[in-house]
Amino acid sequence: MKLYLENALSNHRHGRFFISQLEALPTEELPDNGLVLSHGKTFQNWEADKQKEYWDWSSKPGCALVLLPPFNVGAVYETLDWQIALADEIASSDDGVVPTNIAEEVTIKIEGADGKFEQNQGHQWTDYTINTRIFKQHSGSGIFTTTCLPLWSISLLDYNQETLKWLEALFSNVAKTNGDISHQKADVELEPTDYTIMVCFSAWKLKTVDDLAHKLFHSKNSVITLSECELIEGAKRLSSLGYIDENGISEIGITELKKSPYWAYADSLREAN
């Protein structure tokens, strides 16, 4: 993951942490791909044309825009229902080093339902209010993210690796570029059981590996035999190539499956279901 700072942030004292601790690169123009950090208020104060430029960029594969405090109270961006509101009480978290160490410094919250949050990354406080939301326009796009966490805080000076991992977890939601996929294809060799997994996702219209596991291991009439290890390891390979994502089998996964001898089994399984 390449980490960049929007120009105004790179010239602000908040940018020093990212440059010195996380080796972020200042940029005056949007890069071809990578994760770009920006102050939320900066984005909110831009003219509509520039906001749309960054919004459109964040929809491209391999791209992620992450807005950080400070923010103006009110709407984040007109396309989303996200509203920045003042927090009602001091936040607390049980999920991860980053949110736990800066919870007491957070004075705002995100209201709205568009997109998603990831509880295992500490995006939700113990009072169920949300500090981070991710919006992905479709399975092949990048992400537009807003977080209330002051990732530039001195409280994280001793946790630079944890901060980087938190950002990398966000970036894992981004659809890969064709270059990324081609490079990974050269390093990853699919097993026959991996195609079986894609056949199941396609035929049964499942969205998650947990859904597939339940179907395989808790259904008395399952006609597919896979071990738990084959499912876990296969899902990792398929996910790394972008063949499956949070919505099930992706478009490039379908394309890969259609090129294989296993595609016919998807139709048969669909009819048998």
27 lies in the same domain as 98: yes
Q: Is 4 helix (H, G, I), strand (E, B) or coil?
A: strand
Shared-domain flag, residues 171 and 183? no
> What average pLDDT does range 231-255 have in this prediction?
88
Confidence of residue 221 (pLDDT cuts 50, 70, 90): low
Q: What digits encode the pLDDT tens for the residues 93-106?
A: 888 899 999 999 99
157 shares its domain with 186: no
> How far apart, in whole angstroms, are the C-alpha atoms of residue 133 and residue 155?
22
Specify whether 112 is located in the same domain as 150: yes
Token digits for 16? 């020093």
Q: What is the mean pLDDT of the chain?
A: 90
Same domain (yes/no): 163, 50: yes
**8 A C-beta contact, residue 40 and residue 146:** yes
Q: 13 with 41, same domain? A: yes
- Residue 180 in this model has a pLDDT that exceeds 60: no
Checking if the pLDDT of 177 tops 70, the result is no
The DSSP line for 162-196 is HHHHHHHHHHTTSPPPHHHHHHHHHH----HHHHH
Residues 238 and 43: their CA atoms lie apart, in Å, by 35
Does residue 55 surpass a pLDDT of 90?
yes
CA distance 66 to 203: 36
Q: Return the pLDDT at 178.
A: 57
Residues 23 and 142 in one domain: yes
124 with 26, same domain: the answer is yes
Q: Do residues 60 and 140 both lie within one domain? A: yes
* Spatial separation of the C-alpha atoms in residues 195 and 234, rounded to whole Å: 9
Q: Is the pTM of this model over 0.85?
A: no
Sign (positive/negative) of CA torsion 121, 177, 183, 192?
positive
Q: What is the pLDDT of residue 214?
A: 87
At 179, the pLDDT band (50, 70, 90 cuts) reads: low
Which residues span the domain enclosing 242?
Answer: 179-272
What does the block give as tokens for 209? 């590996």
Q: Which of 139, 157, 175 is the last residue of a domain?
A: 175
Residues 113 and 239 in one domain: no
**Parallel, antiparallel or unpaired: strands 83-86 and 108-111:** antiparallel
Query: Which pLDDT belongs to residue 218?
Result: 79
CA dist 14 to 49, 63, 81, 104, 151, Å? 26, 22, 27, 18, 9
**Residue 81 CB neighbours (<10 A):** 13
Beta-carbon contacts of 55 under 8 Å, excluding residues fewer than 6 positions away, are 65, 77, 79, 144
Would you say residue 186 has pLDDT above 70?
A: no
Of the listed ranges 22-26, 58-62, 138-142, 217-221, the one predicted with least confidence: 217-221
Same domain for 153 and 183, yes or no, is no
Which residues of 58-199 form beta strands (DSSP E)? 63-68, 74-75, 83-86, 108-111, 132-135, 143-147
109: Cα within 13 Å, side-chain hemisphere = 18
pLDDT of residue 111: 97
Residue 114 in tokens = 């568009």
196 shares its domain with 211: yes
Distance in angstroms (rounded) separating the CA atoms of residues 17 and 57: 25
94 in Cβ contact with 64 (< 8 Å): no
What pLDDT does 271 receive? 74
Q: What's the pLDDT band for 266 if we cut at 50, 70, 90?
A: confident
pLDDT bin (cut points 50, 70, 90) of residue 175 is confident
Residue 252 pLDDT grade (very low, low, confident, very high; cuts 50, 70, 90): confident
Question: What's the pLDDT score for residue 54?
Answer: 97
Q: By the 8 A CB rule, do 60 and 33 touch?
A: yes
Q: Which of 30, 108, 104 is nearest to 69 (CA)?
A: 108
Q: Domain count of the chain?
A: 2
195-206: pLDDT as tens digits: 999 999 999 899
- Model confidence at 12, in pLDDT bands (50, 70, 90)? very high
- Tell me: the pLDDT tens digits for 123-169? 999 999 999 999 998 877 899 999 999 999 999 999 999 999 999 99
